[in-house]
A and B are shown apart, each in its own frame.
Chain A
Amino acid sequence: ILNVEQSPQSLHVQEGDSTNFTCSFPSSNFYALHWYRWETAKSPEALFVMTLNGDEKKKGRISATLNTKEGYSYLYIKGSQPEDSATYLCAFLYNQGGKLIFGQGTELSVKP
């Protein structure tokens, strides 16, 4: 059974704090790792698709790293803002099925 774990489950920070979350996935049969940002009552929004070991991607204040050999990815948010409050989902794509397997998400709340 392929399992994707995210930690922490929830995080409460103050505006201006930097934060990071972890996504752990099976290191075998790796094809791609997706990160999504999901605000309540809105569509999940794609942040990054990462495919290569050592990949680092950046979008504004958000960045992500990937280690496929040990099976983890980190998502960093620098200087969190209240509008960053959302659930951050990672999803693992393995090379045998074409199916995205989602983690349970990290729920981030940023207080002004």
Chain B
Amino acid sequence: DTEVTQTPKHLVMGMTNKKSLKCEQHMGHRAMYWYKQKAKKPPELMFVYSYEKLSINESVPSRFSPECPNSSLLNLHLHALQPEDSALYLCASSQGATTPPTDTQYFGPGTRLTVL
């Protein structure tokens, strides 16, 4: 199984809502990533978890809160978002055996988020 799954596929939320994005992999990977991609722009790294510990936070606003409850799951909790946070949110995982991780990253299909 080389699949990374993400739910939901689409999410529309208001600025006062609280919602969560979920990412799951069953490849035994120990590194997991959240990326944000705005239209016509390259994906930008938000967070990296290595062995279930947050190892990189790219100065992401606190309205985005990541969580890694176990080695297979990665969540992104959203609260009080702004319309400019509307984007495609991609999750990825890799074996994470090296530092920095040079191994292949396997991506999910993304969650398309719209903030009204």
List, in ascending order, chain A residues with CB within 8 A of B32's CB.
none
Q: Is A86 an interface residue (CB 8 A)?
A: no
Q: In the complex, A31→B102 CA distance in Å?
A: 8
Q: Are A46 and B41 in contact (CB under 8 A)?
A: no
List, in ascending order, chain B residues with CB within 8 A of A46's CB.
104-107
With A34-B104, A98-B55 already in contact, 8 other A-B pairs whose C-beta atoms are closer than 8 Å: A41-B109, A44-B43, A44-B107, A93-B100, A98-B100, A99-B48, A102-B43, A103-B42
Residue in chain B with minimal CB distance to A95: B100
Q: What distance in Å separates the Cβ of B91 from its nearest Cβ neighbour in chain A?
A: 10
Q: What distance in Å separates the Cβ of B99 from its nearest Cβ neighbour in chain A?
A: 7
Q: In the complex, A95→B104 CA distance in Å?
A: 16
Binding site for A on B (CB under 8 A): 4, 40-45, 48, 55-56, 58, 90, 99-110
Q: Are A97 and B102 in contact (CB under 8 A)?
A: no
Binding site for B on A (CB under 8 A): 4, 31-32, 34, 36, 41-46, 49, 51, 89, 93, 95, 97-105
Q: Are A98 and B101 in contact (CB under 8 A)?
A: yes
List, in ascending order, chain A residues with CB within 8 A of B110's CB.
43
Q: Are B105 and A89 in contact (CB under 8 A)?
A: no
Q: Are B56 and A102 in contact (CB under 8 A)?
A: no
Q: Shortest 10 CB-CB distances between A and B: which pairs?
A: A98-B100, A102-B42, A44-B107, A46-B104, A32-B102, A43-B107, A43-B109, A99-B45, A104-B42, A102-B43
Q: In the complex, A98→B48 CA distance in Å?
A: 9
List, in ascending order, chain B residues with CB within 8 A of A102's CB.
42-44
List, in ascending order, chain B residues with CB within 8 A of A99's CB.
45, 48, 56, 58, 100
Q: What distance in Å separates the Cβ of B74 from its nearest Cβ neighbour in chain A?
A: 15
Residue in chain B with minimal CB distance to A49: B104
Q: In the complex, A104→B103 CA distance in Å?
A: 21
List, in ascending order, chain A residues with CB within 8 A of B44's CB.
102
Q: Are A49 and B90 in contact (CB under 8 A)?
A: no
Q: In the complex, A18→B3 CA distance in Å?
A: 30
Most buried by B among A93, A97, A98, A101: A98
Residue in chain A with minimal CB distance to B31: A98
Q: Are B102 and A49 in contact (CB under 8 A)?
A: yes
